[in-house]
Amino acid sequence: MKYSIHPAFLLLLLMIALYGNIALYSVMMVSLVIHELGHFLAAKFVGVQVDTCKIMPYGGEMTLKHEMQLSYRQLIVVAMGGPIATIIGIGLSFLLPPLLKGLFIEIQLFILCINLLPIWPLDGGRILCFTLLKQYSYSKLFEYYVSSSFYLLTVTIIVLLYLLPQSLSFVVVSIFLWSKVIGDWRNRKYRSAFEKHVMNRLT
């Protein structure tokens, strides 16, 4: 499996470093590793091979081998692995020294809340989308879900940027997420067409 870090995440860490908060930099890195380890272990549990893992500003992004041939159950389990690992990390954080515990819990909760949003391509969005596809054999469902995610994310970013105008890290994460969902939104029809041919996959 190949590992990489997206330049936008490095930019985010540079901003944090410039503000002099090295502890936040370190805790964020550890938190993301824990989250991605959860995805990796979940993939191994359901017999899925991971090709690449890229650390993104909003978490991580894993490329699964033959993803289109996997069952929705497998995809749901892999998507759940990250949030479960983050929750376990929050529980274990109470064993840390008091000075580190608060910061670690705060970062873990931030990652958990962001990733559980029901917006594609976040973990919460993937879990909900694959669950719907598993229950309903409708080839255009993915297209509608990504379209809804695009509009929901746009509204969410506008509202939160209004409420948190000075949160530079949130601005970076929001813009990157928006660009990511735009890319998937543009390709939504191709994915929907493919889904039409794989509705007979094992569930």
39, 48 contact by CB (below 8 A)? no
If DSSP codes are grouped into helix, strand and coil, which group holds residue 116? coil
Tokens of 32: 């993301």
pLDDT at position 144, please?
Answer: 84
pLDDT at position 80, please?
Answer: 94
70, 203 contact by CB (below 8 A)? no
Contacts of 105 (CB under 8 A, 6+ apart): 90, 93
If DSSP codes are grouped into helix, strand and coil, which group holds residue 2? strand
**Considering the entire predicted model, what is its pTM?**
0.77
pLDDT at position 58, please?
Answer: 64
Cα–Cα distance measured from residue 122 to residue 102, given in angstroms and rounded to the nearest whole number: 25
Domain boundaries, the chain: 2-197
pLDDT at position 36, please?
Answer: 86
pLDDT at position 202, please?
Answer: 46
pLDDT tens figures, 164-183: 655 656 666 677 777 777 77
Q: Which residues of the chain have pLDDT under 50?
A: 202-203
31, 111 contact by CB (below 8 A)? yes
Neighbours of 142 (CB within 10 A): 23
Rounded alpha-carbon distances, angstroms, from residue 84 to 18, 36, 55, 80, 108: 32, 10, 18, 6, 11
Cα–Cα distance measured from residue 170 to residue 175, given in angstroms and rounded to the nearest whole number: 8
pLDDT at position 200, please?
Answer: 53
Radius of gyration, alpha carbons of the chain: 17
pLDDT at position 162, please?
Answer: 74
